[in-house]
Every structure is written in C-alpha cells, then in structure tokens.
Amino acid sequence: MTETKPSSKGALIAGWIISGLITAFYLFDAISKIVKEKHSVDASVALGWPAEHIPTIGIILLACTILYAIPRTSVLGAVLITGYLGGAVAVMMRTSGQPYLFPFIFGALTWAGIYLRNTKLQKLVKGD
C-alpha cells in the first residue's frame, strides 16, 4: 500500500508525527541492542535472553523498522513489528512483574501512525 490522499491534513500530520516518534524509538532500541549498550543488554538478560542473541534481535528490529519507515513498505514493516512486539509481550508476561502493556501500546501507536496517513488502510479497516 502506498500513501494516498488523506482524509484531512491534520490526520496526515498526526500520522507522520506518530510514525516518526515510533520510528525514532525503534531505531534507538535496535541500535542499542546491536552495539550491546549496557542498559539494553542488562534489561534483555533480565528477561531471560542470552547476551549473545541480543545483537541479532537488534538487527531484526532494525530491518523491520527500516521497512516501516519507507512509505511503500510501511504496512509490511508494521506487520513484522507487530510480531516482534507480540514476542516481547509474551516474554514480559512470562517473567512476572514486567510492564507488558508497554509493547502493546507501542504496537497500537505503530498502526495508528499508518492508519492516519493512509486512506487505503482506512478503507480496508472500515470495509469500504
């Protein structure tokens, strides 16, 4: 799906702002995993991930984020990020006391950004 004329200029702007902020967060998270930033590694190890797998997880998130950031492949990127975040929810729920709503909220924001700027997706969701 490519971008088409949005329902309003405000929706388009809001969609790009949400998508931009979400993309920045995902890039920060992916890069911190790839370069093995201490806080990122410590948090991932606390969730049960072996330290040697963390850069691979970062590369996967980076690839998904790049797809999300490109308008022509943004829906594919969002689908892949949704899968990534679903795994995060599962891991966080498995380890008691972790804030598992955080990835769920980011997933919703990921889709909200695309929805607000893509009338084809809006029509698909509305059933038009």
Domain residue limits at 76: 9-121
On whether the CB atoms of residues 113 and 15 are closer than 8 A, the answer is yes
If you average pLDDT over residues 61-80, what whole number do you get?
97
Does 128 fall in a domain? no
| Close Cβ partners of 103 (under 8 Å, ≥ 6 residues apart) | 85, 86, 88, 89, 92
Which range (2-6, 96-100, 122-126) has the least confidence?
Answer: 2-6
Residue 50, pLDDT > 80, answer yes
Record the pTM: 0.87
Q: Residue 128 — pLDDT band, cuts 50, 70, 90?
A: confident
Number of domains comprising the chain:
1
Q: Which tens digits make up the pLDDT trace of 5-29?
A: 557 899 999 999 999 999 999 999 9
Does 60 fall in a domain? yes
Does 42 fall in a domain? yes
Does 79 fall in a domain? yes
Does 72 fall in a domain? yes
Task: Compute CA distances 44 → 9, 50, 53, 58, whole Å.
Answer: 40, 8, 10, 11
Q: Residue 99 — pLDDT band, cuts 50, 70, 90?
A: confident
